[in-house]
Structure 1
């Protein structure tokens, strides 16, 4: 199971990022646990200055803007 955190304030892009990750995971048959992190101090602790940020298994893989579907597929491979 992939442990994924979406870092952000809960804006539309953050919500869309969560939906995209869940959809790609379902399409690929990959089990994921997606958590929303909205605490600004926690987001800064990851070194993310632009949201949404995405952390997969403890590693920051994306920051700022919507991730592309092919990138999400790479994260879940």
Structure 2
């Protein structure tokens, strides 16, 4: 099975509006399309199980993000999405 890898960085709104909550937003970059076995060799079994069960998973552990993306940026995460056969 194929897995799509997105590298995302979360940003704040930059504007403070009194009495309003402004959610942060993420900017994501399409990184790669890999076989499930590649992801399996990098990530813990629990994350792989969630990916298979839910079809997608967010990986925010900075060490794992760096292993998959080669980048180490604060507030970054990896989004993995399983693609149908």
What TM-score results when the alignment is normalised by the length of structure 2?
0.27
Q: Which has the larger radius of gyration?
A: 2
Normalized per residue, the structure richer in strand is: 2
TM-score (norm 1): 0.29
Higher normalized helix content (fraction of residues): 1
